[in-house]
Amino acid sequence: MLPLSQIVTATKLVGTPCYVCGWGPVAKRLSALAKIDTPLPLRHWLSFKTHPVKSLLSTWRSFGLGVEVVSEFEFVAALQEGFHPTEILVN
């Protein structure tokens, strides 16, 4: 979780409602998921619709992870953000 002071600063800067996200909690969960022992291939996908945040998408992509999209608009946006078609799960 982000420190309350950072959340307060963000809401003062842009007002409310706003979406506040930090990479730390995401990285912590990814680390825990990476420790799952399974003989099956395991891939992690970020929901584009839920998290359309450029910096989060960029960091996610830098780790070689894919995004999940549900519309043509999201598919095109994911391509524009640099995701390769093999890194895009279409639902």
Per-residue pLDDT of the chain (91 residues; tens, 9 = 90+): 678 898 899 899 999 888 777 788 889 999 999 899 999 988 899 999 988 888 888 999 999 999 999 999 999 999 999 999 999 999 9
Q: Supply the pTM of this predicted model.
A: 0.75
Q: Which two tokens mark 32? A: 């825990």
Residue 66, SS3 per DSSP: strand
Q: Which positions ≥6 away from 87 have C-beta within 8 Å?
A: 61, 64, 65, 66, 67, 78
